[in-house]
């Protein structure tokens, strides 16, 4: 693969273009389009580096969700923890939910991980910073395709019927990705400056895991029902899980509201990312 520093990239300038919303939007879309080739090369490089020195390679993408699911299935089966009744077999419920949760967390961690890894490149070369975000988006989608193989096995083993819900589930799944990227972009500027952000992120997401109905049914009684109402991940995860496993959902209005919120959040976070990153690069290169 050719040296990334030799790629023809567009010089990024942040701020004559930000004098009006129209020029800002044009600049953002222009940089997004021009970053496609570089983003793809970054993705291929990162993917190759991820599996080059791995003995089991892509197998590691299957291990975490399966191990997590087996633990909770064991706890439920032994009545160590009683999560209540689910409308589908509990192993299916947990496996699908954990896969969806990992899609969200990978999206959340993607921007910060990508930008942090590219620090040496950022201080030396001018290029559209969107390339880093698009490359991490490619990685999330690639991992999503791997997770789809696990879903295929689940459908065969538990004889789950195929429905049009599998197609419709693409909507909440990608909204989970957009929500994760929106939050991730918000914290990326601060995370580039302070390692504490990256260090604390796994702890925070692990705590957030337990207030999201991933391994238990959504609570129906107050005040626990607030978990579903106030947690923006819940409506998207529940809608995707229901469409995948049963072909029907009961929370369409909530899913649509959070989908709109996710798109707005992503756009606002993108603007903040564009404004803040050049300032931070100047600071870390001083």
Count CA atoms within 13 Å of residue 177 on its CB side: 18
The count of structural domains within the chain is 1
pLDDT of res. 2: 44
Do the domain assignments include residue 13? Answer: no
Do the domain assignments include residue 3? Answer: no
Do the domain assignments include residue 14? Answer: no
DSSP summary character for residue 129: T
Which residue carries 């273009």 as its tokens?
A: 17
pLDDT of res. 55: 54
pLDDT of res. 26: 78
pLDDT of res. 25: 79
Do the domain assignments include residue 270? Answer: yes
Spatial distance between the Cα atoms of 271 and 28, rounded to a whole number of angstroms: 8
- Report residues of the chain scoring pLDDT below 70: 1-21, 52-61, 285-286
Spatial distance between the Cα atoms of 121 and 3, rounded to a whole number of angstroms: 11
Helices of type H across 62-215: 63-77, 90-117, 119-122, 130-157, 165-168, 170-193, 195-209
pLDDT of res. 258: 95
Distances (CA, A) of 168 to 155, 175, 210, 233, 282: 17, 12, 26, 17, 44
Q: What is the pTM of this model?
A: 0.87
Do the domain assignments include residue 2? Answer: no
Do the domain assignments include residue 223? Answer: yes
pLDDT of res. 126: 79
Do the domain assignments include residue 8? Answer: no
Spatial distance between the Cα atoms of 152 and 160, rounded to a whole number of angstroms: 10
Range of the domain at 83: 19-285
pLDDT of res. 53: 62
Spatial distance between the Cα atoms of 85 and 88, rounded to a whole number of angstroms: 9
pLDDT of res. 182: 95
Do the domain assignments include residue 205? Answer: yes
pLDDT of res. 1: 44
Burial (Cβ within 10 Å: 0-12, 13-18, ≥19) of residue 198: middle
Residue pLDDT, tens place only, 151-200: 888 888 888 888 888 899 999 999 999 999 999 999 998 888 888 888 88
């Amino acid at each position: 693969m050719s040296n990334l520093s030799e790629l023809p990239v567009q010089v990024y300038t942040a701020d004559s273009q930000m004098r009006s919303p129209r020029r800002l939007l044009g600049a953002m879309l222009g940089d997004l389009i021009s970053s496609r080739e570089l983003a793809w090369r970054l993705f291929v490089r990162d993917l190759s580096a991820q599996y080059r020195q791995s003995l089991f390679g892509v197998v590691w993408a299957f291990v975490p969700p399966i191990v997590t699911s087996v633990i909770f299935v064991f706890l439920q089966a032994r009545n160590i923890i009683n999560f209540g009744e689910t409308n589908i077999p509990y192993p299916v419920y947990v496996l699908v939910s954990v896969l969806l949760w990992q899609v969200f967390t990978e999206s959340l961690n993607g921007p910060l991980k990508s930008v942090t890894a590219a620090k040496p490149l950022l201080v030396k070369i001018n290029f559209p910073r969107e390339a880093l975000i698009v490359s991490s988006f490619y990685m999330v989608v690639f991992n999503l395709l791997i997770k789809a193989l696990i879903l295929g096995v689940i459908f065969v083993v538990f004889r789950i019927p195929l429905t049009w819900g599998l197609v419709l589930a693409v909507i909440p799944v990608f909204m989970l990705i957009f929500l994760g990227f929106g939050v991730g972009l918000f914290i990326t500027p601060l995370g580039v400056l302070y390692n504490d952000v990256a260090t604390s992120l796994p702890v925070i997401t692990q705590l957030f895991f337990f207030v999201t109905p991933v391994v238990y049914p959504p609570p129906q009684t107050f005040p626990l029902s607030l978990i579903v109402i106030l947690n923006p991940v819940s409506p998207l995860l529940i809608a995707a899980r229901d469409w995948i496993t049963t072909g029907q959902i009961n929370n369409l209005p909530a899913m649509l509201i959070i989908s709109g919120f996710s798109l707005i959040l992503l756009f606002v976070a993108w603007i903040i990312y564009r404004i803040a990153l050049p300032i931070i690069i100047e600071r870390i290169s001083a």
